[in-house]
Chains A and B, each alone.
Chain A
Amino acid sequence: MSLFDRFKNGLTKTRDFMTASFNRMAAGFGVFDDDMLDELEMTLIQADCGIAASTEAVEAIREHIRRTGDASREGVLRVLHESLASMLHEKKLEVEKDQLTIYLMVGVNGTGKTTTSAKLAQRAKKEGRRVMMAAADTFRAAAVEQLKVWGERTQTAVIAHETGSDPAAVVFDAIGAAKARHTELLLVDTAGRLHTKKNLMEELAKIRRVIDREAPDAHVETLLVIDATTGQNAIIQARAFHEATRVTGIALTKLDGSAKGGVAVAMARETGLPLCLAGLGEGADDLSDFDRDLFLQALLPEA
């Protein structure tokens, strides 16, 4: 299956819904009037795009119609695509050879940090990189075991302490081990935490400091893992995690069927953070680089 088809699969529902409402809107004379644009705004909101992004996109369309007089379905779709594209940024993650790269995986509970870590490990191994994982979720019961199972499945070394120990210490040890074994990618899987818990966010900031101190030369990416079914709270999450750990990219998980997916637009617009990864299924191979144009093509109806 091509990458586009996989994005398309993941966003089937939203796309069908968007297409249906587009067709309904444009059924009359094939052109968009004011009421239809209002309806379009609501359609975008229903796809979790958020009010601000939806309003901005529709305003761009109004402006386009005012300037050119073109209110055709094709014209509207093109401007919509452009407008949403201007809000979304993508970034490709690379693991360089013979150099330490560290991915710090952060996010609220249940977004799929551990699974995403495992998938990233698998991917880097396929590219021939030396990979290690650090079980820095020392809070949730059996989280360490879960990562170890993934370690076995992907044949990746897992550095772990006991449940309840200091996660920063796990990271400290893991960096030491990574240096000794010339690891090229160290994946740090942290415990899920609600961004409103101040002490837990400080714990994360501490992990970040340990990384900066112990591996000053390493290339560090802090990846915020967001569940694609999340609503507008994702924006607040992104801001809070960014403040605590300087997020460098977003991994959008569970983008396969049940998600509306529009939250990617809302979040990117409000935070300016780039999207890096898209989780398009449950298999270990179902993690892909986020591709803005494929994402939008899959989200929006065909012209």
Chain B
Amino acid sequence: MALFESLSSRLSRVADAMRGKSRVTEKDIKDMMREIRLALLEADVNYQVVKDLADEIGEKARGAEVMESLTPGQQVVKIVHEALVSILGTEEKLAVSPSGFTVIMLYGLQGTGKTTTAAKLALHLKDRGKKPILVSVDVHRPAAQEQLKILAGQVGVEYYIEPQEKNAARLALAGRERARYMMCDTMIVDTAGRMTVDQDLMDELRAINKAVLPDERLLIVDAMIGQEAVEIARSFDAEIGLDGFIMTKLDGDARGGAALSIRRMTGKPIKMIGTGEKVGDLEIFHPDRLASRILGMGDVLTLIEKASEALDEKQAQKTLERLKKNTFTMQDMLEQLEQIQGMGSMKEMLSMVPGLGSKLGNVDVDEKGLLKTRAIIQSMTVRERENPKLLNASRRRRIAAGSGAEVSDVNRVVRQYDDMVKMMKQFGMFGQGGKRRRPRMPFGNMGF
């Protein structure tokens, strides 16, 4: 059994076995439910949630649609995905106090990223016209307050620290005084993390909670957390009160199943997600994307975003122009290649394509193929690049020698170029209306 297979590839195996059968049996459904359970458990979704979900989905899957569908696997994936999206709920805004002074308290276990998230949150609010202040009441971790101070400087907001004070609640009160004095409208309280949910931690948090009466008490949850997530969230909710949570470290490859578990078992909403180490890396949460991620189904939307980040708008316009005029040259192909490489590793990108992610496990994407194509084009003269028709056998031999490739490789690149031109000619017709249109990247033809 392959580890960390996506739900769709798991289910397609079951579906393959079903193919040719005249009807779907109860056993087929059972097999499918097992695969769903395994996929969710591998994503660290809480066991109880997995069980409930599998039951619910099983009911739906027994419905006529799936049974009669030609692609029952895909139908079931769709049902599961929809179920996940509906559990994850919609994005919810951060609370704003009607009094004009909002207090946000962050808490959670050690090492989940509270301090970093506090700074990100401050920047997020500042960018939306608020005047936040960061207050560290972490009286335990060495240099924690120092870290908050540095981060406050980086995001350019007020801060309050008092490393000598050993009472967290008093610190929080003093922080509020400072916040009022500095005319801030939002106070973000960064509390100390503990290794475990223990009484000391809860007593301290309760005291802070009582002292500053936060409008928003947010649990910071690491995307990598295992089966324990629900119990942690529940105990914080029971002891202090919980208004929502922020999931951090989603820039890694953890599936983040805990988000689903906590949402389902506590009913508390996901407020934001942390997606990087930089202070700007705090994002609004999209239920459909997270659902795809939990199912290991890749993330097309992120791929598209990444692509548009890497693509140079001007370059794209230029390509479009050339394409319209039928003057797309080898040079343009080279530039496109370079842009594609600018988006990051091919394997990483392909892993975002649904259904491909798990299959890439053992496949090594031929990144060298791209490099080779590049080297071949770079070994051409400017005239050759502008007019590939010049490329006769002797020139091709020279180019092969110059780029350390075989003549057959050069032939391949020329063929790819021809294919692209042909494709783009058809494509060019669409652009004639004068509407701005981003030329698509022909990924499939780039030499891998």
Contact = CB atoms under 8 A, between A and B. Distances in A.
A263 interface: yes
Contact of B4 (A55, A195, A230, A236): A236
B151 A231 contact: no
Contacts of A112: 110-111
Nearest to B258: A231
Nearest to A194: B252
A140 B147 contact: yes
Contact of A263 (B147, B149, B222, B226): B226
B143 interface: yes
Contacts of B257: 231
A281 interface: yes
A229 B150 CA distance: 29
Interface in B11-28: none
Contacts of B197: 257-258
Interface in B176-196: 194-196
A233 B255 contact: yes
A291 interface: no
Interface string B294-307: 00000000000000
Given A231-B257, A258-B109, A260-B228, A109 B277 contact: yes
Contact of B249 (A145, A194, A231): A194
A196 B251 contact: yes
Contact of B143 (A51, A149, A270): A149
Contacts of A163: 150
B150 A142 contact: yes
Nearest to A48: B226
Query: Which bracket fits the contact residues of B?
Result: 35 or more
A110 interface: yes
B225 A51 contact: no
A109 B249 contact: yes
Question: Which residue, A46, A50, A197, has most C-beta atoms of chain B within 10 A?
Answer: A46
Interface string A228-260: 011111111100000000000000001011111
B146 A145 contact: yes
B142 interface: yes
Nearest to B2: A52
B195 A281 contact: yes
A165 to B, nearest CB: 15
A256 B227 contact: no
A86 interface: no
A143 B144 CA distance: 9
Contacts of A47: 227
Query: Which bracket fits the contact residues of A?
Result: 35 or more
Contacts of A259: 196, 228
A282 B224 CA distance: 21
B252 A150 contact: no
A231 B195 contact: no
Nearest to A148: B143
A63 B409 CA distance: 55
Contacts of B277: 109, 139
Given A52-B3, A198-B345, A257-B197, A232 B42 contact: yes
B239 to A, nearest CB: 14
Contact of A257 (B3, B4, B111, B198): B198
B228 A146 contact: no
Contacts of B249: 108-110, 194
Interface string A41-68: 0100111101110010000000000000
A51 B42 contact: yes
A149 B196 contact: no
A234 B222 CA distance: 13
A230 B1 contact: no
B325 interface: no
Contact of A233 (B154, B231, B251, B253): B253
B111 A227 contact: yes
A286 to B, nearest CB: 9
B340 interface: no
B111 A146 contact: no
Interface in A126-157: 139-143, 145-146, 148-150, 153
A258 B255 CA distance: 21
A222 interface: no
B4 A229 contact: no
Contacts of A235: 3
B38 interface: yes
Contact of A231 (B109, B110, B225): B225
Given A109-B277, A146-B143, A233-B254, A141 B150 contact: yes
B225 A230 contact: yes
Nearest to A228: B226
Contacts of B142: 145-146, 149-150, 153
Given A42-B47, A236-B4, A256-B195, A110 B110 contact: yes
A200 B178 CA distance: 38
A190 interface: no
Interface string B184-220: 0000000000111110000000000000000000000
A230 B249 CA distance: 12
A111 interface: yes
Nearest to B193: A110
Contacts of B3: 51-52, 235, 270
26 contacts: A45-B41, A47-B227, A51-B3, A52-B1, A55-B1, A110-B113, A111-B111, A112-B110, A139-B277, A141-B147, A146-B142, A149-B142, A194-B249, A196-B252, A196-B253, A231-B254, A232-B4, A232-B226, A236-B253, A254-B110, A256-B196, A257-B197, A258-B232, A260-B228, A279-B195, A281-B195
Given A196-B348, A230-B225, A260-B227, 8 more contacts: A109-B249, A111-B111, A142-B150, A146-B141, A153-B142, A254-B196, A257-B197, A260-B226
